[in-house]
Amino acid sequence: MINERDFLKNKKQALEKLENAKKEGLVDTGIIPIIDLINSFDEYYTSSSCYGRIVLLEIPEIGDKKNAEWLGKWHRKIKTEEILNAFKKADRGLIWILAQSPIIHVFSKNLESANKLVKTAIGCGFKNSGFKSSEKNIVVEVTSTERLDSPVGKNGVLFCDEEYLSLLVDIANEVIDKSSVKLEKFEKKLQNKS
């Protein structure tokens, strides 16, 4: 069972950390209204969260996240030219274009609250949502199924033509569009609960 005093202390620390991160511009602006709303409820507080993003990533070898290079990262829809410009920074390794749906991490005061949040998220289209529980924490992860992971080059060489790259950008932008719709629906559902 989670100790309420510890929960409140952890929430206070998490919200202070979040406010500092906002001041430093380290929080995706699109996710702020939703995490602020979640944090307004007594039974929840958020930790690391992302609005959704499109990424061009260079990885020395599969699984080597530690040495990965972010060639480009956008929390919005993009144009093919932006990928091509970011690609110019590529040097050594596999180059991937990724589109990732939003992810919101929420600490919950109890299992009942966690279960309610998961049901709300799933009802808004975040089908991969669930929670993990330990003696000290219950963490809800709100996330969806839409994503794109595609290799596009290696060692600074683009392996596909611009037409195919444009198709990947279109798909990545669709992930962002669908994510935005789900986030709006989720925010409205949460507002109705307050």
Structure tokens at 164: 């195919």
Q: Is the pLDDT reported for residue 1 higher than 80?
A: no
Question: What pairs with residue 86 in β-bridges?
Answer: none
- Sort strands 157-158 and 147-154 into parallel, antiparallel or unpaired: antiparallel
Structure tokens at 133: 């529980």
**Structural domains present in the chain:** 4-193 (3.30.1960.10)
Q: How many CB atoms lie within 10 A of CB 69?
A: 15
Asked whether the beta carbons of 7 and 41 are under 8 A apart, the reply is: no
Span 3-28, pLDDT tens digits: 888 899 999 999 999 999 999 988 88
Per-residue pLDDT, 194: 58
Span 59-109, pLDDT tens digits: 988 887 888 999 999 999 999 999 999 999 998 999 999 999 999 999 999
